[in-house]
Structure 1
């Protein structure tokens, strides 16, 4: 017995819709590219993302998602995402998959 059969047993009067409902994640509209740059502070490498023009809360959610996927530390300060370590390539790939235009700066 698969999952659909179990649901039919629980909800016999429910009729299956023709199209599955797919929730669309929030889309950020970005005119200028997000700047992805590399710096060293106190001898340690960091990756900085700046240039986002949308809502601050969306950028904070993006910062949390990047930190979680890469399993690294970081912060969100003054409309910039600061990630500990040099992860420019991975971050740029993630942002391009989400539909952002990203520009690499510094090295």
Structure 2
């Protein structure tokens, strides 16, 4: 293949801000102390092929803070979990246990849904 093009998939016609401009478009996240955050704990199965997942919503925190919190919750519940779109998802139905942990950490948490 002696066409002389090189890396055709990395050809950029015009770019104004250099190589990585993702930081320019990010919105700053305001970090509130746990006492001022109203979080909701809910167990759901929708869109998960029948598997129950406990979802914690309502966080106003930086991704690093959420990563530390999800690590602690996963260890306490003995299961897996992740952070998606400023929400924490923990595998299994652990509503009451997660509620107790969040209240001990100072969050204003409530169980949402049935």
TM-score (norm 1): 0.69
Bigger drift between 57-66 and 32-41 goes to 32-41
Q: Answer yes or no: is the 8 Å Cα contact 1:30–1:53 preserved in 2.
A: no
Q: Which runs of 5+ in 2 are unaligned?
A: 1-31
Aligned equivalent of 1:28:
33
Count of residue pairs the alignment pairs up: 81
**How far is 1:79 from its partner?**
0.7
Q: How far apart, CA to CA, are the structure 2 residues paired with 1:29 and 1:84?
A: 23
TM-score (norm 2): 0.65
Q: 2:71 aligns with which of 64, 68, 72?
A: 64
Aligned equivalent of 2:87:
80
**How far is 1:82 from its partner?**
0.5
More strand by percentage: 1
Q: Answer yes or no: is the 8 Å Cα contact 1:73–1:84 preserved in 2.
A: yes
Q: Which runs of 5+ in 1 are unaligned?
A: 1-26
Q: Which runs of 4+ in 1 moved over 4 A?
A: none
Aligned equivalent of 1:98:
105
Q: Answer yes or no: is the 8 Å Cα contact 1:30–1:54 preserved in 2.
A: no
Cα root mean square deviation, aligned: 1.6
Q: How far apart, CA to CA, are the structure 2 residues paired with 1:86 and 1:29?
A: 23
> SS where residue 83 of structure 1 aligns?
strand
Deviation per CA, 1:14-56: give whole Å up to 9, x if none: xxxxxxxxxxxxx933534111111012111110011111222
Written as runs of structure 1 = structure 2, the 5 A alignment for 1:35-54 is 35-40=40-45, 41-54=48-61
